[in-house]
Structure 1
Amino acid sequence: MAIDPKDFDTPVVDYDFSKATSPQQLIQQMASAGGFTATKFATAREILSQMKADIDAVDADPERVTNWL
């Protein structure tokens, strides 16, 4: 199976630590970084943020819903 370079159109962006003044900003930069782990970490943050929003939307007890975290 040949890999076509045209399939990879998302540019890799290096970290700019001068702009990362908070953990949130650093994770946001990880979302567009080239490392696989960094992008997965940023995706995990988005998933957890959405889970928290869903829990809050129905006024659920987060300790009973996300006790596995």
Structure 2
Amino acid sequence: MIWNRIKVLRAERDWTQADLADRVGISRQAVISIEKYKYTPSLELAFKIAETFGVSIDEVFKYGEEK
């Protein structure tokens, strides 16, 4: 499973799901799905999300076993 820290990173910046969606160019529903692990973003989208936060991809996403 691909884990992510999107919710934490958004909170640190005081961004809503809609704010992130607008910055990345995806729908708010897509952000919700990624945060809830219902959708795994493409590699291209994952890099775009990391770039939007101004961090490396491994600071946003991590591959690992289920918790």
Which gives a bigger RCO, structure 1 or 2 (Cα 8 Å, sep 6+)? 2
Question: TM-score, normalising length from structure 1?
Answer: 0.28
**Rg comparison, structure with higher value:** 1
Higher strand share: 2
Question: TM-score, normalising length from structure 2?
Answer: 0.29
